[in-house]
Amino acid sequence: MNMCEAMDRLFQRLRNEGEVLGLEKGETIGIEKGKSDTLKEQLKVKLGTLSRPLENQLTNTSLEKLNELTLNIFNVTNEEDVLKIIN
C-alpha cells in the first residue's frame, strides 16, 4: 500500500466516524427537543398557559431535568413547581 492509499483510507475512516458521531448528537438533540415540546404541551393543558420565560427555560433544560419533570408532572400545580424541578 502506498502513502496516498493509506491517507485516503485514514481520511475515509475519519469521515465515517464523524458522520456517526454527528448522527448520534443529532439524535440526542432530537430527543431533547421532542421531550421539551411534549412537556410544554402537557403543561399548557395542565396549567392553562405557560409564560414565555418558562417556555424558553424548558427549551434549554437538560434531558436529565426534563426526565425528572416528566416523572413529577402530576405534582405540578403552577409554574413555580416546574421551576423547582428543573432548577
**Residue 59, pLDDT score:** 92
In the chain, % of residues over pLDDT 90: 56
Please report which confidence band the pLDDT of residue 50 belongs to, taking 50, 70 and 90 as the band edges: very high
Please report which confidence band the pLDDT of residue 31 belongs to, taking 50, 70 and 90 as the band edges: confident
Q: Is the pTM of this model over 0.75?
A: no
Q: In whole angstroms, how far apart are CA 10 and each of 3, 15, 38, 51?
A: 10, 9, 42, 51
Gyration radius (Cα) of the chain, Å: 21
**Residue 43, pLDDT score:** 95
Whether 70 has a pLDDT exceeding 80, the answer reads yes
**Residue 32, pLDDT score:** 84
